Structure 1
Amino acid sequence: MTTNAKPTLSLGPVYFLWDGPKWRDFYFRIADEAPVEHVTLGETVCSKRQHFSEPHVADVIERLEAAGKRVTLSTLAMVTLERESRHVRDLIRDSVHPVEANDLSALGLLRDRPHSIGPLVNVYNAATARMLADRGADNICLPPELPARSVRQMIGAMPDFSFEIFAFGRMPLAISARCAHARSKGLTKDNCQFICGEEPDGLPLRTLDRQSFLALNGVQTMSSSCVVLIDDLAALVEAGLSRVRLSPQDCDMVKVARLYRAVLDGQIDGEKALAELAGIYPGVGFSNGFLHQQEGAAWVSRGRTAAMGRD
């Protein structure tokens, strides 16, 4: 499918533990300065963190909506406790905003209600996407591990449906009932002392050879590298992509959003934007390997690969 429509830009939920004022001020600035149309917010990784952001949620939503942003609320990615189950039920029952499901346990409650599917739900083919759409989903953010071929096939099979791609941020790879982040500091999950807040961009892990490997974020395991698809946007837009998602990192996300918007609008090419992005988020490796059917941590430049239409 080829389309002239420009994808909208979206911002996913903050996966990391930021203190309440930092979380609030981040979204206030997004509301006032970032060229994003959709914002998904809410605790996704660990229910113990909710009390940091909850006092500020109403003010953040009001500020975002006053700026014309469309707000979606995220469910938890793993529900293991009764209080977590109650939270998801209450969120879905009481929210006047659309809800994004990041765990299959939410789907039964969302059936026949408009909702979106987050990148933590495995949607790998058009049959799964069609089933979710039939149950009420109106947007699916595809998992970051999908190759371009699969993305194109799904868009081609459902050309009138809204597909979103994870285009910036550390990849969410796994989530566990145990907290490796706390364990690495000699603590347990039940007595974690919110130690993950000491690493607002994740705790880097290295191999015995001192090579960057993964990043810990509480109970979540993430990639060490940051997915950056800014130089791949043209082919994705040509395929008919509806939305481009940025996942918040501890860097200037307003500048990141402006760069992605500029590329989508044809004001700057992806290669130049990539160089600028390296200055905005320094010291972190970039990757796009999964999109090009290589290992996820790989970086594939335009000079090393054929156009995605021929991958």
Structure 2
Amino acid sequence: MSSITIGPLYFYWSPQQKQDFYFRIADEAPVSTVYLGEVICSKRIPFFERQLPRVRERLERGGKKVVLSTLSEVTVQHDRRSVGTICAETGCEIEVNDASALWWLEGRSFRVGQHFNCYSGETLAFLAEKGATHVCLPPELPAASVSALAEAAGALGVGIELQVFGRVSLALSARCYHARAHGRTKDNCQFVCEQDPDGLELRTMDDGQYLVINGIQTLSHSYLNLCRELGSLRDMGVTHFRISPHSGDMVKTASVFDRLARAEISTEEVDAQLSQLDVDASFANGFFHGKPGYLRL
């Protein structure tokens, strides 16, 4: 049976909002694993440090496996120290999202996050040799690539995870788009990204929906929804299905995907229930089918 997971939170929410979110996930969501940690901006990390032990304890008490995720982009000394601090944690598994974390984890097992760009069987084998026991594939991979990597992972004894719901992370930059959009510098951003709990929408010159920005991150405007592909993914050997957190009802989202994974409801029922979420965006699955990512096929 494949497992439902909650990926790391991309957006900057207040400490209270984050704590409330994870407490509810701990008590109500049918998920096996929750990834905790800041993966976008190291400047956000100190604001949740006080709540983190309570959140972690609550999740574990709720039967969830907690995995700590590292930054996806390391550009300055403060970023390196942040990654080192997380990797020094020995009480739970670490998910690495940037190769810099491998130095800290020499001789230890670890997980690989979807920002690591594991696109080939050779990369997968290299990471497994280094100690990777579980890999979350990049969400833009087409079905043929997912199938090939899942088969390779099975031979290596490595778990394979894939995002099945939520906005797709498309790119990272050294520049903070959020700060620039408000006439501020990255060093003096004043955490303006807190104004956009699901990212800041970008629109085309003719006012069409386009992309979303979140600090240094560019995301799809549409929400990935692979409910129609879940059976195929399971047959390929994908062992974990990742839901990327947003401000909508993630407990309901996790519940319908869990019921689908258990063959208790149909994909049509899942689509109907997900359409009731307060999401001002379309659903998409184009990447999986080798088409433009914003399409729903």
Q: State the TM-score, normalizing by the size of structure 2.
A: 0.97
Q: 1-side partners of 2:279 and 2:116: how far apart? A: 30
2:267: which partner in 1? 270
Q: 2-side partners of 1:12 and 1:158: how far apart? A: 20
Aligned-partner residue type, residue 203 of structure 1: L
Aligned-partner residue type, residue 181 of structure 1: H
SS at match of 1:268: coil
Q: 1-side partners of 2:280 and 2:196: how far apart? A: 15
Q: State the TM-score, normalizing by the size of structure 1.
A: 0.93
2:89: which partner in 1? 94
Which digits, 9 at most, give the CA deviation of each residue in 1:160-179, with x for residues without a partner? 32100011111111111111
2:284: which partner in 1? 287
The 4+ residue runs of structure 1 with deviation greater than 6 A are: none
Which digits, 9 at most, give the CA deviation of each residue in 1:143-163, with x for residues without a partner? 011001101111122323210
| Alpha-carbon offset, residue 77 of structure 1 | 0.8
Q: 2-side partners of 1:193 and 1:146: how far apart? A: 35
Q: What's the RMSD between the two structures over aligned residues?
A: 1.0
Which digits, 9 at most, give the CA deviation of each residue in 1:41-80, with x for residues without a partner? 1111001111221110000000000111100001011111
Between stretches 181-190 and 21-30, larger displacement belongs to: 181-190
SS at match of 1:96: coil
Q: 1-side partners of 2:62 and 2:258: how far apart? A: 17
Gaps of 5+ in 2: none
Q: 1-side partners of 2:264 and 2:52: how far apart? A: 34
SS at match of 2:248: coil
Q: 2-side partners of 1:90 and 1:158: how far apart? A: 29
Aligned-partner residue type, residue 30 of structure 1: I
1:34: which partner in 2? 29
1:140: which partner in 2? 135
Aligned-partner residue type, residue 290 of structure 1: F
Q: 1-side partners of 2:123 and 2:278: how far apart? A: 35
| Alpha-carbon offset, residue 281 of structure 1 | 3.8
2:103: which partner in 1? 108
SS at match of 2:30: coil
Gaps of 5+ in 1: 1-5, 301-311
Query: Residues 31 and 64 of structure 2 are in contact (CA less than 8 Å); yes or no, is this contact kept in structure 1?
Result: yes
Identity of aligned residues (%): 44
| Alpha-carbon offset, residue 272 of structure 1 | 1.7
2:257: which partner in 1? 260
1:207: which partner in 2? 204
1:188: which partner in 2? 185
Query: Residues 153 and 160 of structure 2 are in contact (CA less than 8 Å); yes or no, is this contact kept in structure 1?
Result: no
Which digits, 9 at most, give the CA deviation of each residue in 1:240-280, with x for residues without a partner? 11100000011010000001001001110112201210111
1:167: which partner in 2? 164
Aligned-partner residue type, residue 266 of structure 1: A
Q: 1-side partners of 2:33 and 2:185: how far apart? A: 36
Query: Could you tell me which of 53, 58, 63 is aligned with 1:58?
Result: 53
Q: 1-side partners of 2:269 and 2:84: how far apart? A: 46
| Alpha-carbon offset, residue 23 of structure 1 | 0.3
- 2:147 equivalent to 1:152: yes
| Alpha-carbon offset, residue 182 of structure 1 | 1.1
SS at match of 1:15: coil
